[in-house]
Chains A and B, each alone.
Chain A
Amino acid sequence: MSLPGIDPPARILITKIGLDGHDRGSRVVAAFLRDAGMEVLYTPPWQEIGQVVRLAEEEDVDAIGISSLATDHLLVPKLLKALAKAGLGHLPVVVGGIVPDADEGKLKKAGVRHVFHPGASREEIVDVMARLAVEARAAKAKSLFG
């Protein structure tokens, strides 16, 4: 199954940066996205920011999902800066997990496109990721051919 406007299917990197290793959430989300026809690149936890940037580039992903259960979301602004520096500033980054309200605004301001909280449904996750992937594909095509 392929999503509207996306062929080949959207490629999403689901990963964890920082120190936490809880991965129930990231595994469930990866399964949701695969079921919806997306290609998911899934990594073990504790990825260095540099590794995430490299993976995103080499694997030509359309969006990055960072799972954070234990304050690793505080490192996401650093990831966004590193992506921009590598010329991948157009890649949408989302965060899922435990993000206090006070931090959500900061993450959005730093460029995070969406924050999924505990209780986010399959539908919401698939919809948002599909929309972001379509946008990212269009932005990429524009930068290549426009």
Chain B
Amino acid sequence: MARRSKPVELPLSRFEKARAQWRAELEAGPAAPGNSSNRSGLEVKPIYTPQNAGERDYMDALGFPGQFPMTRGIYASMHRGRTWTQRQLIGLGVPEDYNARLKSILAHGGSAVSLIPCNSVYRGYDADAVPPEILGTCGAIVNTVEDMEICLSGIPIGEISTALNDPSPFTLLALELAVAKRRGIAWDRIAGTSNQSDYLSHFVANHMFFRLALPGARRVLLDHIAFARRRLPQWNPISIVGQHMQQAGATPAEAMGLTLASAIQYANDCVARGWSPDQVLPRFTFFFDISISFFEEVAKFRAGRRIWARLTRERFGATDPRSWRFKFHGQTSGVDLTREQPLNNIARVTVQAMAGIFGGLQSLHTDAYDEVLSVPTEKAARIAISTQNILKEEAQLTDVIDPLGGSFYVEALTDQMETKILQVIDRIDAAGGMYAAVEAGLVQRICGDSALAFQEKVDSGAQTIVGINKYRVPDTQEPAREALRPPPKRKIEAQLKRLKRFKAERGRDSVARALSALGWAAASAEANVFEAVVEGACAGLTHGEICAKLREVYGFGTPLIVA
């Protein structure tokens, strides 16, 4: 018998043996279905183990909620204590329509006011300056203090927080303050957020909110922050919007990186005004898109939270823990919704919302399933808020803080997303900061390129979208899709009449004085422009008049289109 030398067998650990066996079985079986990379372009492995965790120090990387680096949440109790604010975007029709919908949403579980104005308002015009066909079709018509009074009729604005979707010069807040003054409510009780104060994101990605040329928008925002610091202790004057860039095509990692780069720009601008970081950073809030790429979104938020805590402490020297807190509102992504088989959108929104909840958000808007068809119908709006009620109160999602923390996959992905996000911030830093990068068109190109790349994945079938590139149902077999109809003509006519009467009945002298004071403030380097806007609103200036006056000084501005 020939003697065979025994092969040297390295002692395999149980882990390695089991892994080798698993790999062999995996490779022998059917190919693992699904994506091998996520939307941010990160490779996704079929399994994650302690090996992927690397040499992570728990306290450095994660720690406890409410403590640096805040990865697991910005408050000690997170959703166990205070869940999230149910802040549904609401905006439609004439002021009476808006008020009725607002009351219905609040009655069904909404816990905050949000106001989406009509597109004419977004663009800086009064109702009498645009084609009547499109008035009130995409938001509420609010031009005057009287309109705002009706919008907020029966709403205790001294007690409930308000999110105003209104960019520079923040006329809606000025009108709300005018309403508060009429009702005898002290301004220090007015709480909420200027939801669209991030003019850089408007210039890049959502031109709908673009009202003033960049330098004017920059100036008015800083005056707005100064005014809030002095007069509105419960108001968050700045919300940095990642949602626009992600909706415009940026990947989740790009959107987070660009948003943090914008926040750095705004923080630098505040510091240049002479404020210390700890005086302003606690008022910074964020607003993000939540796509259906579930784990990627959870990791995006966890990574963003950690980066913000480190960045505010290390780069800006903030020592107040409130400056490190990454407070954010999430909105489920409309781009993921389909017009085909629209009820499927309820399932999509549920997954998106869960990603935001596990990501640790402070406030949430869930899209109505029919948002891809029109401004939501009443029925769809109620289902959207019920989705939040179910997630919050039935599903026991809020029992444990950061429940996905510690998952081998989620922690590895959080680290990888963090690296990707930091690369985006570095790129913007190298371009001279966000303001310069936006002026140069760099950010527009990033969003546009990623939008095209995603569309190509959909067209090639690499990214499945149910009802679009798979599981299609012929259009003829679909039930009728209800959509909200524009307000009837008579309502628009009555609204136009109301505006005409308002303008005729105001004190002519005080209006003229307020208008010239506004022009003077805008042209002067010392005055506070936003204060003049507030005084103008109280004196009876309309939204269109305020915007027109500021455009005389700052220019209209056209966004840079990088096609």
Measuring CB to CB, which residues of chain A are less than 8 angstroms from any residue of chain B? 18-24, 27-28, 30-31, 40, 42-46, 70-72, 74-75, 78, 98, 100-102, 117-119, 121-123
Query: Which of B106-114, B118-126, B148-156, B404-412 is found at the contact surface with chain A?
Result: B118-126
Contacts of A40 in B (CB 8 A): 563
Given known contacts A19-B123, A23-B561, A24-B248, what 11 new A-B pairs fall within 8 Å (CB)? Answer: A19-B120, A20-B119, A20-B208, A21-B559, A27-B448, A40-B563, A42-B563, A71-B134, A72-B134, A122-B455, A123-B459
The answer to whether B206 touches A102, judged by C-beta atoms less than 8 angstroms apart, is: no
Residue in A closest to B207 when the chains form the complex, CB atoms: A21
A70, B468: Cβ atoms under 8 Å?
A: no
**CB nearest neighbor in B for A21:** B207
Which chain B residue lies CB-closest to A41? B563
Q: How far is the CB of B120 from chain A (nearest CB, A)?
A: 6
Q: Are A74 and B248 in contact (CB under 8 A)?
A: no
Known: A42-B561, A72-B134. A18 touches B119 (CB 8 A): yes
Residue B97 interfacial (CB < 8 Å): no
Residues of B with C-beta under 8 A to A19: 119-120, 122-123, 130, 134, 208
Nearest residue (CB) in B for A118 is B339
In the complex, B465 has a CB within 8 A of chain A:
yes
Query: Is B188 an interface residue when CB atoms closer than 8 A count as contact?
Result: no
Whether B451 pairs with A102 at a CB distance below 8 angstroms is no
User: Which residues does chain A contribute within 8 Å of B459, judged by CB atoms?
Assistant: 121-123
B366 within 8 A of A: no
B137 near A74 (CB under 8 angstroms)?
yes
In contact, A44 and B561 (Cβ under 8 angstroms): yes
Given A27-B563, A28-B451, is A100 in contact with B481 using a C-beta cutoff of 8 Å? yes
Which A-B residue pairs are the 8 nearest by beta carbons?
A: A21-B207, A100-B483, A21-B208, A71-B137, A19-B119, A119-B468, A42-B563, A74-B133
With A18-B119, A28-B452, A98-B374 as given contacts, are A119 and B340 in contact (CB-CB < 8 Å)?
yes
Closest A-chain residue to B481, C-beta based? A101
Closest B residue to A74 by CB, please name it: B133
Who on chain B is nearest to A100 by CB?
Answer: B483
Minimum Cβ distance to chain B for residue A49 (Å) = 9
**Residue on B nearest A34 in the bound complex, by CB:** B563
Q: A74 contacts which chain B residues (CB < 8 A)?
A: 133-134, 137, 486
User: Is there a chain A Cβ closer than 8 Å to B311's Cβ?
Assistant: no
CB 8 Å contact bits of B446-472 with A (1 = contact, 0 = none) = 011001100110010000010111000
A28: chain B residues at CB < 8 Å are: 451-452, 455
Sample 10 A-B pairs with CB under 8 A, ordered by A number: A23-B207, A24-B249, A71-B134, A71-B486, A74-B137, A98-B339, A100-B481, A119-B338, A119-B465, A122-B456
Q: Which residues of A contact B448 (CB under 8 A)?
A: 27
Give CA–CA (A43, B558) in the complex, Å: 11
Q: A46 contacts which chain B residues (CB < 8 A)?
A: 123, 207
Are A70 and B485 CB-contacts (below 8 A) given A44-B558, A98-B374, A119-B340? no
Complex alpha-carbon distance, A28 and B335, angstroms: 13
Q: How far is the CB of A3 from chain B (nearest CB, A)?
A: 19
Query: Which of A27, A44, A75, A122 makes the CB contact (< 8 A) with B131?
Result: A75
Residues from chain A with a CB closer than 8 A to the CB of B467 are 119
* B442 at the A interface (CB under 8 A): no
B180 interfacial contact with A, CB 8 Å: no
Q: Are B206 and A98 in contact (CB under 8 A)?
A: no
CB atoms of B372 and A98 under 8 A apart: yes
Question: Nearest Cβ distance between residue B175 and chain A, in whole angstroms?
Answer: 20
> Bound complex: CA of A22 vs CA of B101, how far in Å?
25
Contact B339 A117 (CB under 8 A): yes
Nearest Cβ in chain B — how far from A41, in angstroms? 10
- Contact of B480 with A101 in the complex, beta carbons under 8 Å: yes
A78 CB, min distance to chain B CBs, angstroms: 7
- B466-506: contact bitstring with A at CB < 8 Å (1 yes, 0 no)? 01110000000000110101100000000000000000000
Residue of B nearest to A40 (CB): B563
* Complex-state Cα separation, A71 to B448, whole angstroms: 23
Contacts of B468 in A (CB 8 A): 119
Min distance, Cβ A38 to any Cβ of chain B, angstroms: 13
Residues from chain B with Cβ under 8 Å of A23 in the complex = 207, 248, 561
Chain A residues lying within 8 Å of B185, measured Cβ to Cβ, are none
Which chain B residues (221-237) contact chain A, with CB distance < 8 Å?
Answer: none
Whether the Cβ atoms of A75 and B134 lie closer than 8 Å is yes
Determine whether the beta carbon of B119 is less than 8 Å from that of A71.
Answer: yes
In the complex, chain A residues whose CB is within 8 Å of the CB of B372:
98, 118
A101 to B370, CA, bound (A): 12
With A18-B131, A74-B134 known to touch, is A27 a contact of B340 (CB < 8 Å)?
no
Are B451 and A24 touching (Cβ within 8 A)? yes
A44 and B373 contact, Cβ closer than 8 Å, known pairs A20-B138, A27-B563, A28-B455: no
Report the Cα distance A72→B208, complex, angstroms: 12
CB of B266 within 8 Å of the partner chain? no
Which residues of chain A are within 8 angstroms of B451 by Cβ–Cβ distance?
24, 27-28
**Which residues from chain A contact B208 at a C-beta distance below 8 Å?**
19-22, 70
Nearest-neighbour CB distance to chain A for B547, whole angstroms, equals 13
A70 touching B483 in the complex, CB below 8 Å, given contacts A20-B119, A21-B210, A119-B465: no
How far does the Cβ of B442 sit from chain A's closest Cβ, in whole Å?
16
CB contacts (< 8 Å) of A31 on chain B: these are 452, 563
With an 8 A cutoff between CB atoms, is B171 at the interface? no
Q: Is B161 an interface residue (CB 8 A)?
A: no
Contact of B339 among A22, A43, A72, A119 (CB under 8 A): A119
Is B286 in the interface zone, CB < 8 Å from A? no
> Please, which residues of chain A bring their CB within 8 A of the CB of B452?
27-28, 31
Q: Is B247 interfacial (CB-CB < 8 Å)?
A: yes
Minimum CB–CB distance for A123 against chain B, Å: 8
Q: Which residue on chain B has the smallest CB distance to residue A44?
A: B561
Q: Are A70 and B559 in contact (CB under 8 A)?
A: no
CB contact list, B416-469 vs A, under 8 A: 447-448, 451-452, 455-456, 459, 465, 467-469
Distance from A53 Cβ to chain B, minimum over Cβ atoms (Å): 15
Over the window 120-147 of chain B, the binary record of Cβ atoms lying under 8 Å from chain A Cβ atoms (1 yes, 0 no) is 1011000000110110011000000000
